[in-house]
Chain A
């Protein structure tokens, strides 16, 4: 049986792509990868992407592959791409994309957490606490504490029909609203808080959100 190539190198305008066969044994793959990486035909520092096809690549395997490819010294792995993910990873991603809805009033001493975005239909009263890994949208008065992007997402925003919060937090940035509260209560229009490029939390009209965070839109279709 003629030995089939399990590692194919393909050149694109974005750089080299190492396409790894997803049917062969993992040990064969590593062996050939080692040989290809030492290929004297390659010169200078080259960025490569690795595509593993339908082979699931655990974190440890990915590290091993990167190590072998980079061992020769002139290849640098920019990313590893795979067509498959675990159920666990998939569920996690779905959860992060989802928005959870809470209907009711978040009263003093109560806490509401969401793994993705959070929509609250009702008020958040003083000493009530809402937090989400994604953005927080409140149809009602926000008079308590809100923490958006609590896992570090700096793109997250906090929007409310009435923004009169005592504390606003986005990712690791916190703002106590002592001075702003008087100004905000004079402008009861819908507002949103976001992390400004200067690193501080800024508050703007809700209508400006489409310019500030166009990436938040997940809507497809329409005209």
Chain B
């Protein structure tokens, strides 16, 4: 029996879809069987980030309305043998095409075959029902005051549901802004929201370029953002991984010396 995890945020554009794709990939890299479910009906893009867009034949609404079986709609990511699948959202209809009960049945069925089901949610609060189908929830925010306020609202709604207390991912942390004190730091955000921090992800240009290529950045082991996602995946699996340090700080004495000679 697998575990369903909903990935949500209040504000749009904080990186829910990118986080879903990368966490799914990272869990598959760890040898788990993962199914990603895109519930952003009408505005799907999880398939694009995974590079599976042109392999979609059926979608979530087709399954719900009985036009195909679940297995037919699931798109396999060939890079991970039999470990990573995507259930794409429909692009032709809208968010109201699926009822909470239908969603619950679908997730229950998927839980039989997969270790982890990651549910990528649309932004906003009106489809709160999708939260109720999961076992636990991950809230994604960025270190911006507007995103943190909206995360607070979502956490309030999640706490009213019958699921485990939500966990937090702080995405797109910019080292230089934190070091100069011009943005909220990790402690400010966690003490304001007072929920457990699942991990932080540093901002990196390669996240965008690799998403455009359809390869989640987490596949590159040397990327700092990838490291953040890999650490989060390991924490989801129950390992205790120390939080990586945001502060690269200024170069030390030897660093300065080195840079002097390397000029």
Which residues of A line the B interface, CB within 8 A? 104-105, 107-110, 122-123, 125-127
Contact = CB atoms under 8 A, between A and B. Distances in A.
B258 interface: no
Contacts of B156: 105, 107-110
Interface stretch (B33-41, B147-155, B226-234): B147-155
B99 interface: no
B144 to A, nearest CB: 14
Interface string B157-183: 101000000000000000000000000
Interface string B102-115: 00000000000000
Most buried by B among A107, A110, A123: A107
Nearest to B195: A105
A59 B166 CA distance: 53
Nearest to A144: B152
B194 A109 contact: no
Contacts of A123: 192, 194
22 contacts: A104-B159, A105-B156, A105-B194, A107-B152, A107-B155, A107-B156, A107-B159, A108-B149, A108-B150, A108-B152, A108-B153, A108-B156, A109-B156, A109-B157, A110-B156, A122-B194, A123-B192, A125-B152, A125-B192, A126-B152, A127-B149, A127-B152
Interface of B: 149-150, 152-153, 155-157, 159, 192, 194
Nearest to B151: A108
A106 to B, nearest CB: 8
A109 B159 CA distance: 13
Nearest to B160: A110
Contacts of A107: 152-153, 155-156, 159
Nearest to A106: B156
Nearest to A127: B149
Q: What 9 A-B pairs come out closest when comparing CB atoms?
A: A107-B156, A108-B153, A108-B152, A109-B153, A107-B152, A110-B156, A125-B152, A105-B194, A108-B149
A110 B159 CA distance: 11
A127 to B, nearest CB: 7
A127 B152 CA distance: 10
Nearest to A123: B194
Contacts of A108: 149-150, 152-153, 156
A127 B153 contact: yes
A45 B159 CA distance: 65
Contacts of A122: 194
